[in-house]
């Protein structure tokens, strides 16, 4: 689809005028032609009646009583007709065979055969002058002497076109003046109407321009015309996205300051203590503590970055296999589970389980589930990753037989920085389940937390639609 030309895109007012003004001129031209046709028909109708009157007057003066064709011409009527016609008038009275002829010979013959008693009017030329001719034929009674059977007489009256053309020109000029006035008035009204109709756009522009960069409230649509409601809706949608993005950035900064200030302060204290320590064994202990603190800080930072990505990054789904993903997770977390004395297993009865998803975020979410289960389950516990697929969904469930969570804490599972455990607090950020829930919502799925089998341990299920398309 071609875009409109730049000079049309630059101004709605100009585009409307460029379309409307030529349109009105085109209508004006058509109206001018129609006015000319109407004036021509009106002039012909009026002046043809005068021609017919002259023809009838001459016809009433024709006599064949003497055996020949006699005409007593109404000179006063012809003089008056010539005066009103403002030009020259010609007449001709003749037998149909042309043997007897009175008046101006050679007047233009009618283009169609004359019907008895039916006048015919037409344009012609007589001695180089344009004329309008009225012709009429009737039966002679009695016929001319020596003629057998019926015989017709032809009566013609012609006039030059000066008065007729003047009358027609006057009508056309009146129509032109009227239409030109209407075009001027309509153009002015169009301009005023367009300016008035575009005022809401100007007010909308002023409203947007006068806002401060921090003002992300929706634009009021109470006084907005219906045609602008989609535009205002799109602007409000964009404003809402910017507001949500700003809120995410603010929350990320708050989260970072909340979570990193304490571990960084602890690291600074530990480093200062190590610098004062002379005992190699004690120094080794301090360095081990620093390393543990650094690992935990790195993990918290990675969790916050994963949370920020799950909240704001545009979706980029890929074709995945849940079985392959689960097996890869087992290979990565099995050494950690073995070191912690935890029995880590996988239950995937199917050979393959295809679905759509974002691998990096899903790996981060499932790694958080396995990390939490291994860490909170403790030595001697069992952690199993179950795979299931039915009803167009793919479900990852991490089940452990550890201490679980009290019933009052299950409702808060997934809140940012909430760390449950029934009073048994372990180091951590409280972001693990928050990340899982954010990833589930991003994929159009859900996270479910419930007690494990027989009320022991915990089950965290990540249910995702298999056909997630972003």
Q: What is the pLDDT of residues 340-397, one digit of tens each?
A: 899 999 998 888 999 988 888 888 888 888 988 888 888 888 999 999 988 788 999 9
What is the token pair recorded at 404? 């679980």
Q: Which helix (H) or strand (E) holds 321?
A: strand 318-321
pLDDT in the model for residue 387: 92
Q: What is the pLDDT of residues 118-133, one digit of tens each?
A: 999 999 998 888 999 9
For residues 419 and 413, the answer to whether their CB atoms sit within 8 Å is no
Residue reference for tokens 């599972």: 413
Query: pTM score, two decimals?
Result: 0.45
What is the token pair recorded at 285? 């202990």
Which ranges in the chain are annotated with CATH 3.30.565.10? 318-465
What is the token pair recorded at 267? 């690291």
Q: Which percentage of the chain shows pLDDT scores above 70?
A: 78
Confidence grade of residue 251 (pLDDT, cut at 50, 70, 90): low
Pick the more confident residue, 462 or 222.
462
For residues 169 and 181, the answer to whether their CB atoms sit within 8 Å is no
29-168: CATH number = 3.30.450
Task: Assess whether pLDDT exceeds 60 at residue 250.
Answer: yes
What is the token pair recorded at 194? 């367009």
For residues 134 and 55, the answer to whether their CB atoms sit within 8 Å is yes
pLDDT in the model for residue 267: 76
Task: Say how far apart CA 59 and CA 158 lie, in whole Å.
Answer: 15
Strands 101-103 and 62-63: unpaired
For residues 422 and 325, the answer to whether their CB atoms sit within 8 Å is no
Pick the more confident residue, 185 or 267.
185
Q: What is the mean pLDDT of residues 58-67?
A: 74
pLDDT in the model for residue 8: 46
DSSP annotation of 454 reads G
Contacts 24+ apart (CB under 8 A), 222-230: 224/200, 225/200, 228/200, 228/201, 228/204
Tell me the average pLDDT of the chain.
78
Confidence grade of residue 325 (pLDDT, cut at 50, 70, 90): very high
Residue reference for tokens 């639609």: 465
Which ranges in the chain are annotated with CATH 3.30.450? 29-168
Q: What is the mean pLDDT of residues 190-214?
A: 78
Q: How many CB atoms lie within 10 A of CB 251?
A: 15
Choose among 297, 314, 460, 462: nearest CA to 389: 462
What is the token pair recorded at 398? 């991490």
pLDDT in the model for residue 420: 54
318-465: CATH number = 3.30.565.10
Task: Assess whether pLDDT exceeds 80 at residue 63.
Answer: no
Q: What is the mean pLDDT of residues 46-71?
A: 77
Name residues whose C-beta falls within 8 Å of residue 366's C-beta, 6 or more positions apart in sequence.
325, 326, 329, 385, 396, 398, 462
User: What pairs with residue 213 in β-bridges?
Assistant: none
Radius of gyration, alpha carbons of the chain:
52
Task: Say how far apart CA 283 and CA 265 lie, in whole Å.
Answer: 19
Task: Assess whether pLDDT exceeds 60 at residue 427.
Answer: no
pLDDT in the model for residue 439: 83
Phi, psi angle pair for 391, to nearest 5°: 65, 30
pLDDT in the model for residue 1: 45
Q: Where are the alpha helices (DSSP H) in 277-426?
A: 280-312, 322-340, 359-377, 407-410
Pick the more confident residue, 449 or 226.
449
Least confident of 76-85, 124-133, 289-298: 76-85
What is the token pair recorded at 111? 């283009």
pLDDT in the model for residue 422: 46
For residues 99 and 177, the answer to whether their CB atoms sit within 8 Å is no
pLDDT in the model for residue 321: 93
Tell me whether the omega of the peptide bond preceding residue 306 falls within 30 degrees of 0, making it cis.
no
Choose among 43, 103, 108: nearest CA to 78: 103
């Amino acid at each position: 689809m071609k875009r409109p030309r730049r000079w049309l895109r630059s101004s709605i007012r100009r585009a409307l005028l460029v379309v409307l003004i030529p349109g009105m001129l085109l209508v004006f031209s058509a109206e001018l032609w129609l006015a000319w046709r109407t004036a021509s028909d009106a002039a012909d109708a009026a002046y043809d009646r005068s021609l017919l009157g002259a023809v009838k007057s001459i016809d009433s003066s024709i006599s064949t009583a003497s055996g020949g064709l006699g005409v007593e011409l109404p000179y006063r009527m012809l003089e008056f007709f010539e005066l009103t016609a403002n030009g020259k008038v010609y007449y001709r009275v003749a037998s149909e065979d042309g043997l007897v002829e009175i008046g101006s010979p050679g007047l233009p013959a009618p283009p169609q055969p004359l019907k008895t008693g039916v006048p015919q009017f037409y344009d012609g030329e007589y001695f180089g002058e344009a004329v309008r001719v009225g012709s009429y034929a009737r039966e002679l009674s009695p016929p001319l002497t020596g003629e057998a059977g019926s015989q017709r007489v032809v009566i013609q009256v012609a006039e030059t076109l000066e008065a007729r053309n003047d009358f027609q020109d006057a009508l056309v000029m009146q129509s032109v003046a009227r239409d030109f006035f209407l075009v001027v008035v309509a153009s002015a009204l169009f301009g005023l109407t367009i300016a008035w109709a575009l005022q809401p756009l100007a007010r909308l522009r002023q409203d947007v321009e006068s806002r401060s960069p921090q003002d992300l409230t929706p634009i009021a649509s109470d006084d907005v015309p219906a045609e602008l409601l989609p535009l205002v809706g799109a602007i409000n949608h964009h404003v809402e996205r910017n507001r949500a993005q700003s809120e995410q950035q603010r929350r990320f900064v708050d989260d970072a300051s909340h979570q990193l200030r304490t571990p960084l302060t602890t690291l600074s204290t530990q480093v200062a203590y190590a610098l004062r320590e002379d005992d190699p064994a004690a120094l080794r202990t301090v360095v081990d503590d620093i390393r543990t603190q650094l690992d935990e800080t790195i993990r918290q930072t990675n969790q916050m970055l994963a949370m920020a990505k799950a909240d704001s990054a545009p979706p980029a789904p890929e074709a995945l296999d849940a079985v392959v993903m689960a097996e890869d997770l087992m290979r990565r977390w099995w050494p950690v589970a073995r070191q912690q004395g935890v029995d880590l297993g996988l239950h995937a009865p199917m050979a393959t389980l295809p679905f759509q998803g974002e691998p990096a975020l899903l790996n981060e979410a499932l790694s958080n589930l396995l990390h939490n289960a291994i860490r909170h389950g403790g030595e001697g516990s069992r952690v199993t990753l179950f795979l299931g697929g039915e009803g167009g969904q793919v479900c990852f469930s991490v089940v452990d037989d550890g201490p679980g969570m009290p019933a009052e804490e299950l409702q808060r599972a997934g809140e940012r920085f909430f760390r449950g455990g029934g009073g048994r607090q372990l180091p951590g950020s409280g972001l693990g389940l928050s990340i899982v829930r954010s990833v589930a919502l991003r994929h159009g799925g859900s996270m479910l937390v419930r007690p494990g089998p027989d009320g022991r341990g915990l089950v965290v299920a990540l249910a995702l639609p298999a056909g997630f398309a972003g």
